[in-house]
Amino acid sequence: MSLPTPNGFLNFTPLTARQAKEMQPVLAGFPFLVSDGFASRIDWSNQNDPLLLQVLPTPLELEQREGFHADPLDEKEYRAAPGVLKKYQGRVILQLTGACPIHCRYCFRRHIKQDTIPNTLAQWQAGLEMIRSDERIKEVIYSGGDPLMVSDKKLFALSNALAEIPHLQRLRIHSRMPIADPKRITPALVEGLKKSRLVTTLVIHMNHPAEMDETVREALARLVDAGIPLYNQSVLLKGINDRLETLVELSEVLLQARVTPYYLHLLDRVAGAAHFQVDRDRGKALVAGLREHLPGYGVPLLVEERPGEGAKSVV
Ligand code: SF4
C-alpha cells in the first residue's frame, strides 16, 4: 500500500494499509510532496530518517492542540496589498507563490491559499505602488511558498520593476530550492540575480546536515562565486535536529559551503505540527552547547516569532 503521491516515492516506505488510510484526511489538507533531489538523500529503509520525517505525513497532524492555529503568526493582519505582507519596519515580504518543491510538514504557511497571490506583473501593481509610496521601505523579501518556483521570466520582471523604485536598496530571497532542487540554481538564474541593481542575498533553509550533498554544494557555490551572500535558517524540530551533535555538524557543513548559519527558529505553532515542537529551554541549552563547539559566526541565533511583535525575538 502506498500513499497517492505525485512522484510515488512512498512506494518505498514501510507503511501499513491502515496507516495509509489514516493519512487520507492529512493529505487532503496538505499533500505529500518531495522533490527528486531531496528524496535521493533520504534513507527510505529507515522510518526515522531525519529527512523523511520532515516530509512524511502522519495522523498526528490531525490532533487539535491548544495554541496551534492555521495562521500562527496572524499574517492576515499584515496584508498591505495582494501578495504583500508588511510585518517589519523598512522591509516588506512579497509572496510570489504558494507552491513549493517540497512540503515540509512543520511549515507555518502550510494552510496558505494560492488564490491570494498575484500571478502577473499587472497583478503586482498595487503592491509596487505601495512600496513606491513609502520611502522607509529599503528591502524587499521574496517569500512564498518558495519564490524560486516562479519562472526566471516572472521573477526578473518583478525584480526589474522593483529596481526602478529609487529608495529600494536590497532584495532578499528566502528559498529552500538550493536544497530541494539544486538544478533550479541555473547559470541564467544566478546571472540575473547578480545583475540586479538591488543588493541581493539568499537565505536558504536547511535543517539537517544530511540535506547537503555534492549537488547542493555546487548550487550554493554558483551563488557564492557570483557574489551573492548566503545565510541559512533552520527550524528546531523534535526527532530531527534537536541533538547537539546534529546542530554542530549542520553548522560545519554550512560553513564549509560558505553559508552563514543565521537563525535557528523555535517552531511556529501551526496546526498540525505540534509533534515537532522542542521547548525553549532545550533550544537555549542546545545553542549554549553550540557556542562551545563553533566559532561565533557559526552559531545561529535562537529566535521566536510572536504574533503582533514587529521583530523576531532572540531567545
Ligand atoms: S514554504 Fe518552505 S518550509 Fe514551507 S513547505 Fe515550502 S519549502 Fe517547506
What are the pLDDT digits (tens) for 147-188? Answer: 999 999 999 999 999 999 999 999 999 999 999 999 999 999
Residue 10: pLDDT over 50: no
Does residue 152 share a domain with residue 26? no
| One domain for residues 276 and 134 | yes
Same-domain check for residues 88 and 191? yes
Least Cα distance to 210 among 49, 95, 24, 68 occurs for 49
Residues 262 and 119 both lie in one domain? yes
35 and 177 housed in the same domain: no
Give, for ligand 1, the residue of 30, 32, 75, 104 to mutate: max count of ligand atoms closer than 8 Å to Cβ.
Answer: 104
Which residues does a 6 A CB cutoff place in the pocket of ligand 1?
A: 100, 102-104, 107, 109, 144-146, 176, 205
294 and 161 co-located in one domain: yes
Owning domain of residue 51: 9-62
d(CA 66, CA 22): 22
Greater confidence, 127 or 9? 127
Quote the ligand 1 centre to 108 CA distance (angstroms): 8
The label of the residue with cell 496551534 reads 68
Q: Is residue 4 part of a domain?
A: no
- Does any domain span residue 174? yes
Q: What is the pLDDT of residue 114?
A: 67
Is residue 19 assigned to a domain? yes
Indicate if 120 and 267 belong to the same structural domain.
Answer: yes
Are residues 49 and 142 located together in one domain of the fold? no
Q: Residue whose CA is closest, atom 8 of ligand 1?
A: 104
Angle, CA 281 vertex, CA 276 and CA 283 arms, to 5°: 55
Q: 242-299 pLDDT, tens per residue?
A: 999 999 999 999 999 999 999 999 999 999 999 999 999 999 999 999 999 999 999 9
The per-residue pLDDT for 4 is 39
Strand 84-88 versus strand 79-81 pairing type: antiparallel
One domain for residues 236 and 297: yes
Whether 67 maps to a domain, the answer reads no
- Centre of ligand 1 to C-alpha 287, Å, is 24
pLDDT of residue 14: 53
Are the C-beta atoms of residues 220 and 212 closer than 8 Å to each other? no
Statement: residue 309 has pLDDT above 60: yes
118/8: higher pLDDT: 118
pLDDT at 19: 72
Q: Are residues 151 and 239 in the same domain?
A: yes
- Alpha carbon of 133 to ligand 1 centroid (Å): 31
Do 295 and 233 fall within a single domain?
yes
Give the closest residue (by CA) to ligand 1 atom 3. Answer: 107
Same domain assignment for residues 189 and 300: yes
- Residue 68 located in a structural domain: no
